[in-house]
């Protein structure tokens, strides 16, 4: 199955009436935007969060018409019949993974404190984005509801990557009748 991550921005751009380009949505992708920023952007011709939040559900639904794995973007709120998977890990594991991923970059490795700050900022932005999308869909989210939004939550610290993948495949087989090598319905994991 194809995996849809940043490619979702291409679909959003194609669905727009004003011939936006995918790169115009990158700054809004899974982030919130203040009303002042949205107004300023509209004055200079940039895409506002309102346009993005209007086009995103349509793009996700178009992608989900075919078998697909959709990463994030609130797809778990938009696709009730999908297998909704959340992959989690403790902050120290995520920091270690991010620092290791930065090896070989211009700065060689990212300091631990900077990686931790980046992850926390990303988590806050993503949560605010999901809350804003949920509100736009007319859904209120409590702490207990957030966990229930997913069919499966896998901690990659407790289970390695291969074991986590096996768990997701087992859930897909159980829930969707998915077999390796056969098509399945959309799966919407969230980091």
| Average pLDDT in the chain | 76
Residue 187 covered by a domain: no
Residue 80 covered by a domain: yes
> What CATH number did the domain enclosing 62 receive?
3.40.50
Residue 52 covered by a domain: yes
Report, as an integer, the average pLDDT of 23-33: 51
Number of domains in the chain: 1
How far is residue 191's CA from residue 53's CA, in Å, rounded to a whole number? 20
Residue 98 covered by a domain: no
Residue 40 covered by a domain: yes
Reported as a single tens digit per residue, the pLDDT across 129-161 is: 898 889 888 888 887 778 789 999 999 999 888
For residue 184, name the pLDDT band (cuts at 50, 70, 90).
Answer: very low
Residue scoring higher pLDDT (24 or 13): 13
pLDDT at 86: 92
Residue 114 covered by a domain: no
Find the domain containing 46 and state its range: 3-90+124-176
Residue 117 covered by a domain: no
Residue 136 covered by a domain: yes
Reported as a single tens digit per residue, the pLDDT across 94-141 is: 888 888 777 644 355 557 888 888 899 889 988 888 988 898 888 888
Q: Which pair of tokens denotes residue 37?
A: 């920023």
């Amino acid at each position: 199955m194809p995996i849809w991550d940043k490619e979702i921005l291409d679909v959003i751009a194609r669905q727009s009436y004003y011939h936006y380009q995918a790169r115009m949505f990158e700054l809004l992708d899974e982030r919130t935007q203040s009303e002042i920023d949205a107004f300023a952007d509209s004055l200079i011709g940039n895409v506002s969060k309102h346009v993005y939040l209007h086009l995103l559900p349509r793009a996700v639904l178009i992608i989900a018409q075919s078998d697909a794995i959709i990463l994030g973007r609130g797809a778990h709120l938009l696709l009730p019949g999908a297998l909704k998977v959340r992959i989690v890990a403790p902050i120290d594991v995520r920091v270690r993974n991010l620092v290791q991923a930065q090896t070989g970059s211009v700065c060689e490795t990212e300091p631990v404190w900077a990686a931790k700050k980046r992850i926390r900022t990303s988590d806050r932005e993503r949560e605010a984005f999901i809350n804003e999308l949920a509100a736009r869909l007319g859904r209120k989210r409590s702490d207990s509801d957030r966990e229930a939004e997913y069919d499966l939550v896998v901690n990659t610290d407790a289970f390695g990557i291969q074991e986590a993948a096996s768990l997701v495949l087992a859930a897909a087989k159980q829930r969707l009748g998915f077999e390796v090598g056969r098509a399945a319905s959309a799966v919407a994991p969230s980091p």
